[in-house]
Structure 1
Amino acid sequence: TVMLEGTNISEGRGTGLPFQFVGAPYIKNSEAYAKRIQDYIRSDAVYLRPAEFQPTSQKWAGEVCHGVHIHVVEPKRIHTYALGLAIIRAAMDMDAKAFQWKAPGYEYNHKDLPIDLILGELDSHKKLEAGLDLKDPFWSKGEEEYARQLSETMIYRRQPITGLW
């Protein structure tokens, strides 16, 4: 859910289940949102329960957010990067006018959009806005090399999940 830091989607901070609840007040239909995300990821490794929550701090503090409660069913099969992209794209689909990118001023960089820094590619947000298919190789480039490098430093051996779908 780190990707959500670059958007106006709540990542559930200020609730009893941060990083499990995601949503926003402008997502009016939690069921449709859950279905849209699931249509993008097409995975039974995660269950998305439609939910409403009210953060007490951070994004949307004091407002009712409509979204999902993320239940990871099979951790070894969930591709969190793909899930993050799907959560963002689905929110854009639900209300493109209300959805917003967080303005520059993230970590050490005060020039570029935070989402581009988080995704590691400047102008990534433009690809999401343009509707680039979430299965496009753009979203998984560099993944195999990262998995290889990661495997050399992991303390606990685990096969990294690669390939968005």
Structure 2
Amino acid sequence: MKKTDQLLKGSSIGMLTNQSAYGWKGDYHFRSIQKEYGLKKLFLPEHGLFAELQDQVSGSELRYDLGETQILNLYGDSEESLIPNEDAFQDLDTLLIDIRDVGARYYTFLTSALYAMQAADRYVRAGKGNIKVVVVDSPNPAGRKIEGSPLEKKFASFVGVEGTLHRHGLSTAGLLEYYKDTFSLDLKFHRIKLYSKKTESFLWVPPSPNIPAQTTCYVYAGLCLLEGTNLSEGRGTTRPFEIFGAPFIDDLNRSLLEKLEEKQKGIFRLRPLKFIPTFHKYAGQVCGGYQILLDRPEKFHSLLFGLHFVKTIRDAYPEQFEFLKGPYEFRSDLPAIQLLVGDEFLLEYLDGKRKYSEIKDYLEETERKWKKETRSYR
């Protein structure tokens, strides 16, 4: 705690956080920081302070009583709302980031953190003041496993920072420090820990409504691709991203099941089932589909499975399957599947122009390069 006191005592703090930062001193971290050091401003990411809101729902109407602490919502009704303006850093000298990632680039919390850091950088470069960034480091719940390829610039969006892999394998502070260096941000950067194995344990708290369990993080990098299709990713069930399907899928079709399971044999299984989402896609309708069960989660490649699943279902149901069109996370010029996949080579696989063996070899190479590039941030 000595380092924490040195960095935060007497500071004017703006904090980006939500309920996922919990356990230090037996409370939500924003409350403990408020009591220990004072808290001028609270920056809120998608889903609200307590994960009350579903995906892509504005938090503009949320109200909290935090005394004299000012609340700034970073997920409103427009793309502009995602980025704090320079005035947000007036009277601040510290940006404290304390939030849990789930290990995938689609997940918006660390994109919000990057946007806040970039805004702080502009504030500093404009000569308006000095801002130091203090990141409370926390383990990556998806582990150190790496999956995917660098996001191509033309696909960059709120659900994908340019150059980042689908599953990055870094801790919160590791990825943000990588961003700080990659985007040449003129900010002093510090990592701290508010807990240790000897004192207070890291507790699993669902960071948002549809990441209910740590196991969700193991499959999210691949199954999030379903958001770009008319397949249900399981929102409206108790196990989103682990249960998925659609009304037109015949879960009793044994040959289809064998095709879906033929890659990564012995690493996962699919349990055929029927489910009725209570909200989101196909709310109130009976869907055929599957629950994914991981026999060897440390060996499971979620992205390869997600790509294979989407292509196999597309081939099996060409008349019913669709890629969704329309706005997705504030971009309307490209379909959601392109923003999520973020790589022309992988998109060619979904279009039948590449073989599975080709994308497998391709991903092995991009993952090897990422591991080497980010070694110092691990």
**Do Structure 1 and Structure 2 share a fold, with TM-score over 0.5?**
yes
Contact 1:12 1:22 (C-alpha < 8 Å) held by counterparts: yes
The equivalent of 1:118 in structure 2 is 340
The answer to which of 141-150 and 52-61 deviates more is 141-150
| Residue number among 144, 149, 152 corresponding to 2:368 in the alignment | 144
Residue ranges of structure 1 left out of the alignment (5+ in a row): 155-165
Indicate how the Cα distance of structure 1 residues 49 and 152 shifts in structure 2: closer, same or farther if over 3 A, else same: farther
Alpha-carbon separation, structure 2, partners of 1:152 and 1:25: 47
Within 5 Å, give how 1:8-157 maps onto structure 2.
8-32=230-254, 33-39=256-262, 41-122=263-344, 124-130=346-352, 132-137=354-359, 140=363, 142-154=366-378
One-letter code aligned to 2:261: Q
CA apart distance, 1:108? 3.3
The letter of the residue matching 2:278 is T
Contact 1:102 1:113 in 2 (8 A): yes
CA offsets, 1:47-67, max 9 Å, x none? Answer: 111111111111111111111
CA distance in 1, matches of 2:276, 2:304: 26
Inter-partner Cα distance in structure 1 for 2:324 and 2:372 = 32
Query: For 1:88-115, what per-residue CA distance to the aligned partner results, in whole angstroms no more than 9, with x for missing partners?
Result: 0121122011110011412232111111
Please, what TM-score do these two structures have when normalized by structure 2?
A: 0.38
SS in 2 for 1:142: helix
Q: Residues 57 and 130 (structure 1 numbering): CA distance in 2 closer, same or farther, change over 3 Å? A: same
Q: How far is 1:139 from its partner?
A: 5.3
Counterpart code for 1:145: K
Structure 2 stretches of 5 or more lacking a match?
1-222
- Partner amino acid, structure 1, of 2:318: A
Aligned-partner residue type, residue 36 of structure 1:
K
Distance 2:285 2:344 in 1: 32
Q: Which has the larger radius of gyration?
A: 2
Q: Secondary structure of the equivalent of 1:35? A: helix
What SS class does the counterpart of residue 135 from structure 1 fall into? helix
Query: How many Å apart are 1:120 and its aligned residue?
Result: 1.1
Equivalent pair of 1:34/1:49 in contact (CA under 8 Å): no
Alpha-carbon deviation of 1:146? 2.5
Shift of 1:148: 3.1
Question: Could you tell me how far 1:9 is from its partner in structure 2?
Answer: 1.0
Question: Scaled by the length of structure 1, what TM-score is found?
Answer: 0.81
Structure 1 residue 129 displacement after superposition? 2.4
Q: Distance in 2 between matches of 1:53 and 1:151?
A: 42
Partner Cα distance (2:345, 2:328) in 1: 15
Q: Which residue of 1 aligns with 2:117?
A: none
Percentage identity across paired residues of the two chains: 28
Sort the Cα spacing of 1:29 and 1:105 in 2 relative to 1 into closer, same or farther, 3 A. Answer: same
Structure 1 match to 2:57: none
- Per-residue CA distance 1:106-147 (angstroms, 9 max, x = gap): 223211111111111258545412252122148526232233
CA 1:91–1:74 in structure 2 vs 1: closer, same or farther (change >3 Å)? same
Say if 1:85 and 1:134, in contact at 8 Å, map to a contact too.
no
Alpha-carbon RMSD across the aligned residues, in angstroms, is 2.2
